[in-house]
Structure 1
Amino acid sequence: MPAIQTIQITADRAIGSGQRPFIISEIGNNHNGDMDNARKLIDQSAEAGVDAVKFQTKDIETSFSKELLDSPYTGPNSFGATYREHKYAIELTEDEYSELNDYAISKDLIFFSTPFDLKSVEVLERIGQPLYKLASFHVTNLELIEAIVKTGKPLLMSTGMSTWDEVGAAVEVIRKYTENFVVLQCTSSYPADFKDLNISAIPEISKRFDCLVGYSGHERGVGVSPGTVLLGACVIERHFTLDRTMKGTDHAASLEFMGLRLLVSRVNRYYESVGLPEKMVMESELPNRMKNRGY
């Protein structure tokens, strides 16, 4: 049993024991820097029935080296001649994130974003989001982890491309400040092959770190993600796009509207069917029991 069984996110939504799985529509940068796209993604996420929409927030000059930013970036997913131009083209401003926060709340959704640097933590604190997400490649960025947990907000941490020792070191830092965290199994390839998903790590994460667990999926289709509920996942995150054929690196590994709606339906059905680890006579069975056994 995890040390913390329930984490309160907002006044009317919690994560953990006795709570239906917390489903996140990971919009990330799939808005392609366009606010109309961002609002449409929020609209469709709300219609699909998710709990939260998540974005990604970066201070470009801080998050990337000058050498990388100055380098040419001319591939099919490029929005600029250099990596700097590309990144600025798809990044939103603080005012735009604040506007999207308000818009998501108006749709009864929780808004939050993944900070990629210390300045972005400050931005998201000013916006007032109720929780944080750490990207997989920042599992070893202990300074960023510490800055996030010092806010006092719950943290969801993806663990793609990480070892047990790396995850353990991150958890050790988190636990200096809070027990309100969830560790997510994740495979950092886009899209991820089914053979690489390793969802059996989900209960092992819970066992090793005595914490709540979840799943951040990058595989194609809906099929695998709902099944993680049976392994103990209380948080499920999937990338979401208006169209998988859109220009950009994450669209191909994302769900479209029908897929997201199906994900929500199946996750909730799996959760409802889990029940208790007991063998008992269900009330719905009583008529057949009486008819066939006489008692």
Structure 2
Amino acid sequence: MSLRDICIGTQVLGEGHLPIILPDIDMFFNGDLEIARGLIESVSKSGLRTIKTAILEDPMVVFDTPAEERYLCRDGSYKSVNYRSLIQKKVMTLDQHRELFNLIKSYGLNFIVSVYTLESVDFAVSEGAIAIKIASSNINFLPLIEKSARTGLPLLIDTGKSTLCEIFEARHAAYSANQDVKLIFEHSPAAPPAPIERQDLSFMNYLSNLLGEHAGLSHHSDDLLMIIASVAIGAKVIEFGLCRDNEADDQDVFHAVKEGQLMQLVENINRVNIALGDPYSRIDNEVMPNNGRMSLRAKQGLIAGTRMNLENVSFSFPPIGIPANEWARVQGKILKRNVQAGMPICNNDVEYE
């Protein structure tokens, strides 16, 4: 299935293009813009052109209840914290978000944002976001999807912990709001980071074929090999958390890429993409010389008038005689001149009626 290319900022998403790499600083900086600056600078130095973050301006996106969120720590233990408190420390005012976006722009980077409220969609557009992300937790927030689709910006939809019914509903909502919406669906393996046998990376291609849309990976593993593998199987977008090397345990830190890993990771992604090559480069109407092909050879001394067969003809490299793939054409033909044993049999040695 051939899918239309999608322009996201200055990058093109589609077949034959480098996957769009999205380091997500999201709320790993917990409102500290100096920490954010360091992460942004690392992204800029890596040669990437786009960064991912979020607009989280209203703590009321989470009810003030005793509900808890559990996350995995680096030592393998789990920590539970009050869900509202966890979000509260990541909330920033719109002015602080604007300062963050200006900081990103000052490094020459574009930005994509996750949105959690209807108001934040308008703010994302006004501040110059080049695409909008719908987090997996919002896949059933259909009014948010509809409003985001109406902006005309490309829309990334995360499918983590979603049912196929929810995924189809989200897609339908987007197209109902804008029939020309540009959609990318992200496969998000189970969290906390699932073991390797539950990464299910092939679900990306399943999603793409099922929906007729581009698909990519929202990385959830402490093994960077999952990112490399996703490139090899055709991920069009690769999103991963990015935090400081010494970041304290917090939500999603366990499986986030560390600053010190970013440069090498980007290089490895680029190298794998280069290795994928161009599938059409092997299609060439011009026959190129190739020593790795056989041609006809006289098995024994052959005299003029000899009828060629597999008893008196064999095959040798390189193709300096009649090519081996033309044997059916010359089998049973009569030689019009002598050919010494071990020598190539050429077209001018053969009598063609």
TM-score, scaled to structure 1: 0.86
Q: Is the 8 A contact 2:216 2:238 kept in 1?
A: yes
Decide which structure has greater helix share. 1
Which residue among 28, 50, 58 is the counterpart of 1:52? 50
Alpha-carbon distance, 1:116 to partner: 1.3
Larger RCO (alpha carbons 8 Å, 6+ apart): 1
Residue of structure 1 in register with 2:133 after alignment: 133
Residue of structure 2 in register with 1:152 after alignment: 152
For structure 2, the 5+ residue unaligned runs are 74-80, 294-316, 321-353
Alpha-carbon distance, 1:166 to partner: 1.3
Instruction: Tell me which amino acid in the other structure corresponds to 1:35.
Output: L
Q: Distance in 2 between matches of 1:267 and 1:87?
A: 32
Once the two structures are superposed, the pairs formed by residues 90-239 of structure 1 within 5 Å of their partners are 90-176=90-176, 177=178, 178-239=180-241
Which residue among 62, 65, 70 is the counterpart of 2:63? 65
- 2:32 matches 1:7: no
- Write the deviation string for residues 150-207 of structure 1: whole angstroms up to 9, x where unpaired: 1111011110101212111111111221341101111241333222211111111111
| Aligned residues with identical type, % of pairs | 25
Alpha-carbon distance, 1:134 to partner: 0.8
SS in 2 for 1:49: coil
- Write the deviation string for residues 195-246 of structure 1: whole angstroms up to 9, x where unpaired: 2211111111111011111111110031111221222211101111013541
CA RMSD in angstroms comes to: 2.9
- Write the deviation string for residues 67-105 of structure 1: whole angstroms up to 9, x where unpaired: 35xx799x999xxx9755553332222222222222222
Instruction: Tell me which amino acid in the other structure corresponds to 1:7.
Output: I
Residue of structure 2 in register with 1:265 after alignment: 267
Shift in alpha-carbon separation, 1:277–1:14, aligned structure 2, 3 A: closer
Q: Distance in 2 between matches of 1:182 and 1:21?
A: 12
For structure 1, the 5+ residue unaligned runs are none
Q: Is the 8 A contact 1:218 1:238 kept in 2?
A: yes
Q: Distance in 2 between matches of 1:210 and 1:102?
A: 36
Shift in alpha-carbon separation, 1:72–1:273, aligned structure 2, 3 A: closer
Which of these two proteins has the greater Rg computed from alpha carbons? Answer: 2
- 2:34 matches 1:36: yes
SS in 1 for 2:236: strand
Q: Is the 8 A contact 2:72 2:254 kept in 1?
A: no
Shift in alpha-carbon separation, 1:265–1:66, aligned structure 2, 3 A: same
TM-score, scaled to structure 2: 0.72
Shift in alpha-carbon separation, 1:241–1:278, aligned structure 2, 3 A: same
Q: Distance in 1 between matches of 2:100 and 2:220?
A: 24
Q: Is the 8 A contact 1:244 1:251 kept in 2?
A: no
Shift in alpha-carbon separation, 1:133–1:240, aligned structure 2, 3 A: same
